[in-house]
Amino acid sequence: MTEIVLGVGASHSTLMNTHWEETHHKDRAERFRDALGEARDALAAARPDTVVLIGSNHFRGFWLDLIPSFTIGVDECLASGESGTPKGPQPVDRELALYLANALVERSGFDVAFSARMQIDHGQSHAVQYLLDGLDVDLVPLVVNVFAPPLPTLDRCERLGRAIREAVLAFPGDRRVAVIGSGGLSHRLPWPDWRDPRGEDEEFMVGAWRDGRENWQDYDARRREIIRAAEAALNPEFDEEFLSWLERGQAHRLTEYTTAELEKVAGNGAQELRTWLLMAAVLDHAPGRRLSYEPMPEWLTGMGVAVLDPAQTQNSERQS
């Protein structure tokens, strides 16, 4: 029997690794880091065999020569290791990953791309570093396109999450499965719409995304300079509202936004909330528990951590 035992949503930032000492709001940073540790402990207590790890691509694993909306890693998975995140091969639950790739087509009509040699970046390896530290689990990595428009709609992401839930629960093997959504919350990156770059920096970025498959490291120093020069654009009110939806089992309300509306209210980085939405849908929108929310302008991001525990929901239903 296969069970879905826990869901975790967590923001990521490589600046935790590279600029910790320069962080001004150390108290907030420490509370966020502690919340990651608490989520890691919740994952350990749930004893998963496999983690469906849903993250975004920051043009170190996928480039503009090919950008699927959704890609499942079904065999080899390599982490790029930028900015102090884990590097090298990651363990993949090949049996479950292949089953999902097939079942989503056969049962749900989702023609999700697959990769037998996937490269992930900090959009997922940040979670490996902080949420899976010391845990003996295999992965089913799922990369969502959130930065190269046209993006999959929020409604499409929510429906994919439900389809993944159905497929996981129908898996004939014996697994305890946890789900992590990595990304968000509100933030704005100095990244252009690749279709219409404006100015030298934006043209450089698009060139890096188009041509960086074999030598992405060559572009990294200037990329980092452009990002570090950006001004923070957070929306704590939006972040609080989204987290309150998650706590009430209503993360599906995010689908009320169009892609353009979400960017306008919470920045282009908030498109990563597709990963949280997918995670919540796989958990059947069980009510969540917020562990932390910290607006971190020096990391350019509203940083949040939450846990969705279906066992808690079942206990509450029995008591009522």
How far, rounded to the nearest angstrom, does the alpha carbon of residue 39 sit from its chain's CA centroid? 15
Q: Are 311 and 284 in contact (CB under 8 A)?
A: no
Which residues in 42-54 are b (16+ Cβ under 10 Å) and which e? bbbebebbbbbbb
| Residues sharing a CB contact under 8 Å with residue 283, sequence separation 6 or more, in sequence order | 4, 7, 165, 179, 308, 310
Q: Are 203 and 197 in contact (CB under 8 A)?
A: yes
Bond from prior residue into 172 cis (ω within 30 degrees of 0): no
Q: From 298, 239, 252, 205, select the one nearest 14 (Cα to Cα).
A: 298
Q: Which are the catalytic amino acids?
A: 122, 187
CB-neighbour burial class of residue 284 (10 A; exposed 0-12, middle 13-18, buried 19+):
middle
Distance between CA 105 and CA 160 in Å, rounded? 11
SS3 letters for 131-196?
CCCCCCCEEEEEEECCCCCCCCCHHHHHHHHHHHHHHHHHCCCCCEEEEEEECCCCECCCCCCCCC
Q: From 120, 127, 126, 139, select the one nearest 48 (Cα to Cα).
A: 139
And the tokens for 97? 């990953």
